[in-house]
Structures are given as structure tokens and as C-alpha cells.
């Protein structure tokens, strides 16, 4: 009886983060969370998690350092370029046709877990350029969200060092960036159709009636139960026939398969199923 209810140091640490910061890392893959915390501990010379927990409780600044280690923000413009080619060749034409045949209405896209904004701006450049070339007039609304306030701040600023632009097509570089004091700023034409917001994917979706949700390299960090929950949120945020794009090493699994059908296996593109059992229950 004595040990019933006793938490491991890792569980205790996860609980402390949730109470003090609000982010619930019990929804993430435990092995990864444990590994990253051990990494942070060894950086500070701690071998025992309970000792590190004491340090975390006594040093408020350590929480931010730990959160930076726990959430990975690696991203880039036109990351996995073949995905952007598929968006341009297959998905955008389909969305544009759908919008034009349904009368007035904007194209609505959510880049969920967008880190510092490069993914969101890449989608915007690709779509705005297509509309310009085809001389199609459609309103475009692209939303970028991330749990990290700092990432959203950088994304909203939209200024990047030259090195970050390496994978941006030359034409887009000249057309959609302008030289500013600190590097390259996103041009107003792109900025005006993009907005960023801090949002936790486990909260109800902040946008509805979406044509496309792009959520790449985020779900891979969550456990299966939590992925199902996020899939449910995405399903309710998408318009009928809406499309979901995941990262190359991610897939819809478990309960999510009732909500989405795979339409492009190579690029992990799914379409919302409209008559899932979940709709029937609602």
C-alpha cells in the first residue's frame, strides 16, 4: 500500500511543469521527454532527477530553459520541398476551383505548430504566387499557431537572417522579401494575409471552416492518445472535404483513421471523412 500513488521523479517533474507553466508533457512521448530532461540535467551537472526538480522549483528562470529543450523548434522555408510542389500542383488548384465554384469566400489555411513562421510564410508565398499567375482574385487567410510565445513573436516579426533563405526559390526571394536592417523581411503582400497566435493543440481549435491544415513534425512528439485528441480537433476545424497535411515521418493512426482518408501516401496528405462515426455522435 505504501507505494500506491507515489510518483516517479519524472512524473513529478512533468506535474510541476504543468502546474507552473500550463503545458502538459504527459501528452508527449514519455521516453522523449525523459531523454530531453536528462540532457538538460547533464548540461547543468545533475545526475538525479529529484535534485534537478529541487533546482527547477527554486530557480524560476530554469523553467524557460527546460521548455526550450522540451519543445523542438527546428524549421525552415520550403522544408521538404516535394511537399510544397504537391501543394502547388495538386492541392491548391483543387482548393481554388472549389472556392470559385462556391461563390465568394476566402481560402482558409492553418499552419499548426508553425514554430518561427517559415512554414506559414512558405505556404502563403506559394498560394499568393499561384493566384497572381492565374489572375484569380480570392481572399487568402493563413493562420500560424504555436505553443511557444517566443516562436510566435519571431514569426509575427517576420524578419530572418540571409542564411535562412537558402531554400527559398530565387523568384520568391526577390518578389516576397525586402532587405531590412536585421536581415530579410517578409513583404507586405504576404504579411497581410498571415496572422500568428499562441495556441496549444490540445485546446479547442481557434479556427473553423478551414480548407487545409498543415501540421508537420509536431504530432511525432505526442503519445497515441493525445494524437487522437488532436485529430479530433483537426476534424472539427476543417470544412467538408478539407485536407490535412502531416510531416514525412508522421501518419494518421488509431482512432484518427475513422476521421481521415489517405489521398497522397508519399506526402502524407489526408482528406476529412464527412460521415465518420464521430459526426454521427455529434
Ligand X SMILES: C[S@@+](CC[C@H](N)C(=O)[O-])C[C@H]1O[C@@H](n2cnc3c(N)ncnc32)[C@H](O)[C@@H]1O
Per CB under 6 A, which of residues 94..113 are in contact with ligand X?
Answer: 113
Q: How many residues bind ligand X (CB under 6 A)?
A: 21
Rounded Cα–Cα distance for residues 242 and 137 (Å)? 21
Stretch that binds ligand X, among 94-102, 136-144, 172-180, 216-224 (CB under 6 A): 216-224
Report, in Å, the least distance between residue 184 CB and ligand X.
18
Per CB under 6 A, which of residues 5..24 are in contact with ligand X?
Answer: none
Nearest residue to 68 (alpha-carbon basis) of 9, 146, 161, 145? 146
Comparing CB distances to ligand X, the nearer of 96 and 127 is 127
| 83 touches ligand X (CB under 6 A) | no
Stretch that binds ligand X, among 32-40, 67-75, 186-194, 234-242 (CB under 6 A): 67-75
Comparing CB distances to ligand X, the nearer of 175 and 229 is 229
Q: CB 103: neighbour CB atoms within 10 A? A: 6
> In the chain, which ranges are continuous DSSP H helix?
9-21, 30-44, 49-58, 60-70, 81-86, 92-101, 118-133, 149-157, 170-176, 188-191, 224-237, 277-281
- Widest CA span of the chain, in angstroms? 72
| 115 touches ligand X (CB under 6 A) | yes
| 246 touches ligand X (CB under 6 A) | no
Report, in Å, the least distance between residue 81 CB and ligand X.
12
Comparing CB distances to ligand X, the nearer of 144 and 242 is 144
Supply φ then ψ for residue 279, to 5 degrees: -65, -40
Cα distance between the two ends of the chain: 42
Nearest residue to 89 (alpha-carbon basis) of 274, 267, 272, 273? 267
Binder to ligand X among 66, 75, 91, 110 (CB under 6 A)? 75
Stretch that binds ligand X, among 13-21, 43-51, 74-82, 274-282 (CB under 6 A): 74-82
Stretch that binds ligand X, among 34-42, 73-81, 165-173, 236-244 (CB under 6 A): 73-81
Give the C-alpha distances (Å, rounded to integers) separating 56 from 13, 48, 114. Answer: 9, 13, 28
Strands 183-186 and 107-112: unpaired
- Build a one-symbol-per-residue string for 142-181: x at contacts with ligand X by CB under 6 A, - elsewhere: ----xxx--x------------------------------
Binder to ligand X among 74, 102, 179, 282 (CB under 6 A)? 74
Comparing CB distances to ligand X, the nearer of 70 and 187 is 70
CB 158 within 8 A of CB 117: yes
Binder to ligand X among 96, 126, 217, 219 (CB under 6 A)? 217
Sheet architecture: strand order including 238-246? 194-198, 140-146, 107-112, 210-215, 238-246, 269-272, 260-264
Chain positions contacting ligand X, by CB under 6 A: 71-75, 79, 113-115, 119, 146-148, 151, 200-202, 216-218, 247
Amino acid at each position: 500500500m505504501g507505494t500506491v500513488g507515489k510518483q516517479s521523479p519524472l512524473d513529478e517533474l512533468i506535474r510541476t511543469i504543468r502546474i507552473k507553466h500550463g503545458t502538459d508533457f504527459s501528452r508527449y512521448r514519455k521516453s522523449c521527454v525523459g531523454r530531453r530532461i536528462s540532457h538538460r540535467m547533464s548540461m547543468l551537472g545533475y545526475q538525479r532527477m529529484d535534485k534537478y526538480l529541487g533546482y527547477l522549483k527554486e530557480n524560476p528562470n530554469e523553467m524557460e530553459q527546460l521548455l526550450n529543450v522540451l519543445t523542438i523548434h527546428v524549421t525552415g522555408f520550403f522544408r521538404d520541398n516535394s511537399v510544397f510542389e504537391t501543394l502547388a500542383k495538386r492541392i491548391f488548384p483543387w482548393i481554388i476551383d472549389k472556392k470559385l465554384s462556391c461563390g465568394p469566400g476566402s481560402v482558409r489555411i492553418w499552419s499548426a505548430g508553425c514554430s518561427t513562421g517559415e512554414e506559414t510564410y512558405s505556404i502563403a508565398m506559394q498560394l499568393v504566387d499561384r493566384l497572381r499567375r492565374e489572375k484569380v482574385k480570392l481572399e487568402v487567410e493563413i493562420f500560424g499557431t504555436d505553443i511557444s510565445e517566443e516562436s510566435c513573436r519571431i514569426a509575427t516579426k517576420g524578419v530572418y537572417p540571409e542564411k535562412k533563405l537558402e531554400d527559398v526559390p530565387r523568384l520568391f526571394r526577390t518578389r516576397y522579401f525586402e532587405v531590412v536592417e536585421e536581415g530579410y523581411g517578409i513583404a507586405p503582400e504576404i504579411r497581410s494575409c498571415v496572422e500568428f497566435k499562441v495556441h496549444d493543440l490540445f485546446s479547442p481549435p481557434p479556427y473553423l471552416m478551414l480548407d487545409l491544415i498543415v501540421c508537420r513534425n509536431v504530432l511525432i512528439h505526442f503519445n497515441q492518445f493525445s494524437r487522437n485528441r488532436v485529430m479530433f480537433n483537426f476534424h472539427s476545424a476543417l470544412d467538408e472535404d478539407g485536407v490535412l497535411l502531416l510531416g514525412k515521418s508522421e501518419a494518421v493512426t488509431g482512432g484518427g483513421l475513422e476521421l481521415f482518408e489517405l489521398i497522397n501516401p508519399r506526402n502524407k496528405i489526408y482528406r476529412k471523412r464527412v460521415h465518420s462515426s464521430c459526426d454521427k455522435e455529434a
